[in-house]
Copies of this chain bind each other. A is one copy, B any other.
């Protein structure tokens, strides 16, 4: 049974402020309503079809970005242009991606001959065309080929592979997203985009198709998204936000929280809530406390947040507390649903459909 109010939600729980979410989504859509570059919201941040639908409905979108095939499957019912912005090489996953391409446009990142061959085999087996983007390493040092000759060689191979359609290049400047100094972030993002746009020009000069130049994130949407030649931005965290991007200073509001209940009040300066590391990650930093002045999370164990509270604080056992996560994506991934709220009222429950591994 859906709880009627926040007070009735079983804790720990993921809660989303619908009005704040919609303001974030509208603000980003307005930015991309001007200029040639489009937005391709990244599903990985929320893994939630209900949120992806709102992002598409707000406009300015080229389609959706997905990190996994499961994410693509979860949003395929209402999106006709999907980018899987990671390498997939296993036959089962390539076939699942190809199955989606029968009735919508599907594009996948590649950075190796093996990846091209696996996707081409799946596309041919399914009798479809899969699009590919050559994934460039623009400084993140994770996946991706280097700009220039290696990218050109891979693009030529992709363009020649039956079953595949080369559609362009991708280069995620992930290393730039958390840079707090705006001038420094701008300089680094522009360097990364210069490498990406330059490679796109080389592809075109070589007679290879390159309609898509995809990059960006919440930290660089208004930098990379204004570089001439970049055609789409893969931002995700802006919809929900976290303390990390809040500290970077991007113009979006905190729209989600992990709700806990105070279960212990063992000392005057300490309380313990039932929202621990299994409900909010600490890979970026500890979550912050919303709504109790001067309170800070001092440790986050599996099922417990230990919270230091100021002298005289009237926190009582049974009180609800909101934690502000430091990292959206992996925190959402811990939960099976969002409780969508307006004021104190629960207005909907949104399944986090694209989370999890090992589902039957």
Q: Which of B302, B337, B356 contacts A44 (CB 8 A)?
A: B302
A144 with B266: CB separation less than 8 A? yes
A244, CB-defined interface residue at 8 Å: no
Segment at the B interface, from A21-29, A207-215, A277-285: A277-285
B44 with A263: CB separation less than 8 A? no
> Smallest distance from the beta carbon of A280 to chain B beta carbons, Å?
11
A184, CB-defined interface residue at 8 Å: no
> For the complex, what is the distance from the CA of A356 to the CA of B336, rounded to whole Å?
6
B112 with A264: CB separation less than 8 A? yes
Segment at the B interface, from A9-17, A196-204, A218-226: A9-17
Residues of B contacting A261 in the complex (Cβ-Cβ under 8 angstroms): 89-90
A67 with B303: CB separation less than 8 A? yes
B337 with A89: CB separation less than 8 A? no
A251, CB-defined interface residue at 8 Å: no
Residues of B contacting A11 in the complex (Cβ-Cβ under 8 angstroms): 90
> Smallest distance from the beta carbon of A117 to chain B beta carbons, Å?
10
B68 with A142: CB separation less than 8 A? no
Residues of B contacting A8 in the complex (Cβ-Cβ under 8 angstroms): 92
Residues of B contacting A279 in the complex (Cβ-Cβ under 8 angstroms): 357
A89 with B317: CB separation less than 8 A? yes
A143-B304, A264-B143 known; A318+B90 contact, CB < 8 A: yes
> Smallest distance from the beta carbon of A51 to chain B beta carbons, Å?
14
Q: Which of B86, B335, B360 contacts A356 (CB 8 A)?
A: B335
A179, CB-defined interface residue at 8 Å: no
A357 with B335: CB separation less than 8 A? yes
> For the complex, what is the distance from the CA of A360 to the CA of B8, rounded to whole Å?
14
A173, CB-defined interface residue at 8 Å: no
5 more A-B contacts (CB under 8 A) besides A145-B266, A336-B359, A339-B358?
A11-B90, A89-B317, A141-B270, A279-B357, A349-B358
Residue numbers of A with Cβ under 8 A of B are 8, 10-14, 44, 67-68, 86-90, 92-93, 111-112, 114-115, 118, 137, 141-145, 174, 261-266, 270, 272, 274, 277-279, 281-283, 299, 301-304, 306, 316-318, 329-330, 333-339, 349, 352, 356-360
Question: 16 A–B contact pairs at CB < 8 A?
Answer: A10-B92, A10-B357, A12-B357, A14-B358, A67-B303, A87-B274, A89-B262, A111-B264, A112-B317, A142-B304, A144-B266, A277-B281, A278-B357, A283-B283, A334-B334, A337-B359
